[in-house]
Chains A and B, each alone.
Chain A
C-alpha cells in the first residue's frame, strides 16, 4: 500500500506527502532539525503517486519540472540560433536560398541552410517543441495546482507542534497572559488576516489568492498558444496579396470569390513636392535620392451579389470606398486591405502611326492605339490599310535559345510583330516594334510604324488581412498579466498560534518577501509582551 500513516493522528497520506494532510506533522523522519519544505504545502504531487500504465508514464514525463525547463532551454537555444543569419523570408527573393546562404555566409551559412535553420520558426520540429512546452505547462499546473488548492482549502488550524517548530519564523512563550493572546488576535484582525480557530489554536491567513497567480498565468499562456493554433483554422486568418492596376477591378483572393476591388487612383508623393517641405531641402540634397512621403490607393470595394456559377459575370455592388494609406487600411466585413507595394508608370496603351519609310516628314497615313488591357488583333482603316498584331509580348525577352517570349503577364516591356497590309495587298510587310526597337526584318518595307505616344498607369499592391485570432491572443496575454500581477504583488502569509501545556507556540510562513513578513509580525506583536519571533534559518546556518 502506497500510503504513509501519520504517527500522530493516524491519517493515511498518499506517498510523497511531506506534511500530514490532517494534523500537519512533518512526515520526513530524517531531518528533524532543518526547516520544513513548504512547497505545495507538503502535499504529494499527484503524478508522483503512481507510475503504472503507459498513460501514467507519459503523464509523469510531462509533469516533471525538469523536463519542462529542459524543453524551454532547448527552445531558447534553437530560437537564438534562428537569429544568427536572416530567415528565408528576409533574404532577396531573386536568389536561390541555397546559393544565397553559401555565398553570403560561407560554410556556416551552408550548414545553417542544410540543417533547415533558415526557416526555423515554421519548421515542424520547432512547432512540436513549442507544443510540448504547452503540454508540459498544462500538466505541471494540473499536477501541482490541484493538490495545492486542496491543501489550502482544507487547512487544519490545529497543526502538529513539529510543524510549527520547523517554520522559518518561530517563537514560544511559556508565560503569557490571556490579555496578550486577545491583543494578538485583535492585531491580526486589524492587519486583515482571516482567523480560523479550533480549540484555542489559531490559523491567521491572508493573500491566499496570490498562490493562484502562476496557475492563472499558465492559463493565459495556454489560451495564447491556442490562439496561435487558430491561425490554421480556415477563415480565422487570411493573409493575401493582390496587384491592382489603376482603373481595373480585380477579384480579392481569400474572400471566396465574393469581393472585388477597383483601384481608382494610386497616389505617390515624395518629399520636396510640397512647399512646406522646404525645411527638409538641405537634408534631401545631402540624401541625393527621392524620399517617399506618402503612398495611397483610392479604392472601391464591391461585393458580388450574383448567385451565378464561378466564372460567370459578377454583379458588383459597392460595399465601401476609401483610401488605403500604409497603416490605415480599408476595412470591410472583417477584412482589412493595406497599402503594401506599388509600381509606377506601367504601360497602359501605346499609340502608333504609319508613314512611308522614305518620307522625311513622316506624315501620318493612319493612327491607332493598342490598349494593353484588351488589345485588338486586327485594325482596319478607311483608306484600305489593315494592320494585324501577329505577335504580342507583354513582357518581352529573348530566352536562352534566342526565341522571343513574354516572361510575365504584365505589360512591362511590350513588344509586337505587326503585319501591315497596304490597300489591295495580300502579302503583309512585317515590322518588329518594342521599347527602343523598331526593326524591319526584310529591310525593304515601304511603310514604317512609328510610336507616337505612351499612356502609363500605376499599379498598387494591396495586402488583404483578416485575423480573428487577435482577440484570443489578447485575452491570453491579459490573463497572463493578471496572473503575473496576482503572484508578484501579493504574498500568501500565514501565522499559526498553538497553545500547549501553558506554552504558546507561534510560527509564521510566507511564500515570499520575508522582510515584509518580519515587519508585519513586529507590528502584530506591538502592545503585547511577546518577543519577536526568531528567524530559524539564520540560526541554523549560524549553528553550522
Chain B
C-alpha cells in the first residue's frame, strides 16, 4: 500500500468515526429535547392512558342487591365502562340518563357499566341513584383511593376497558349519547 493510499484510508476512518460520533451526540441531545417537550405537554396528564392496564380495585357497591363490594377483576371477560362522577358535577348528571338508557342492551352484550362516585357521603349518592333510577352498579370511592390510582382530575372522566382489562378509550369530560354508544360497541367482547 502506498503512502497516499494509507493516508486516504486513515482519512476515511477518521471521517467515518466523526460521523458516528457527531450523529450519536446529536441523537442524544435531540432525544433529550424531545423528551422535555413531550413530557411538558403531558405534564398535567397523570390520568391513566389508552393502552394502559386498568388497575384492579374494589369498592362498596351502593345499589347492589347481594354483594356489597364490587371488584373490577370479577368482571374479567366483560367490557367495562368505568365512569368517575360526583353528584355536584352537572355534566356528570347530564350523561347519567344516557348510560342508563344503554345499560340493559349492552349488559346483554357483555358490557358492564360502573359508575364510581367521589362524593364525600353515601347519603347524597343514594339520593341521586333514587332520583335517576340508576340500575348499573354505583360504587363509592370514599377515601379517593381509586381516584388517585386512576389519576382522575376533572369530572366526569370515563374509561372504556376491553375484556382483557386494557383501556381502549378515555374520555375526559362530558359524553354525548352517540359517542357513548360508539365507545360501548368498541369494548363489546368478541
Chain A residues close to B by CB (< 8 Å): 50, 53, 55-56, 58-59, 122, 124, 127-128, 131-132, 134-135, 138-139, 142, 226, 229, 232, 250-251, 253, 257, 309-312, 314, 372-377, 389-392, 394-395, 399, 405-410
Contact = CB atoms under 8 A, between A and B. Distances in A.
B13 interface: no
Interface string B122-161: 1110110000000000000101111011000000000000
B22 A56 contact: yes
Contacts of A310: 55-58, 145-146, 149
Nearest to B150: A310
Nearest to A409: B120
B117 to A, nearest CB: 10
A415 to B, nearest CB: 12
Contacts of B120: 372-373, 394, 409-410
Contacts of A138: 25, 29
B179 interface: no
A375 B123 CA distance: 6
B35 A229 contact: yes
3 pairs of A and B residues whose beta carbons are closest in the complex: A232-B39, A310-B57, A131-B33
B33 A409 contact: no
Contacts of A132: 33
Interface string B97-133: 0000000000000000000001111111011000000
A392 B131 CA distance: 13
Q: Is the interface of B mostly helix, strand, loop or mixed?
A: helix
Contact of B26 (A59, A122, A406): A59
Q: How large is the interface on B (under 10, 10 to 19, 20 to 34, 35 or more residues)?
A: 35 or more
Nearest to A372: B121
Contact of B30 (A135, A142, A232, A407): A135
Contacts of B58: 309-312
Contact of A139 (B25, B37, B39, B119): B25
A59 B22 contact: yes
B95 to A, nearest CB: 16
Given A122-B40, A127-B40, A135-B30, A311 B145 contact: yes
21 contacts: A50-B15, A53-B19, A58-B26, A124-B37, A127-B40, A134-B29, A134-B33, A138-B25, A138-B29, A142-B25, A251-B144, A257-B149, A309-B58, A309-B73, A311-B58, A314-B145, A373-B120, A374-B121, A377-B126, A392-B124, A408-B88
A480 to B, nearest CB: 19
Nearest to A130: B36
Nearest to B149: A310
Contacts of A392: 121, 123-124, 127
Contact of A226 (B23, B32, B71, B144): B32
A313 to B, nearest CB: 9
A232 B145 contact: no
Contacts of A373: 120-121
A376 B119 CA distance: 15
Given A253-B148, A372-B121, A406-B87, 15 more contacts: A56-B19, A56-B22, A122-B43, A124-B40, A131-B37, A134-B29, A139-B25, A229-B32, A251-B144, A253-B144, A257-B145, A257-B149, A310-B58, A310-B146, A409-B86
Contacts of B124: 392, 394, 406
Interface in B175-189: none
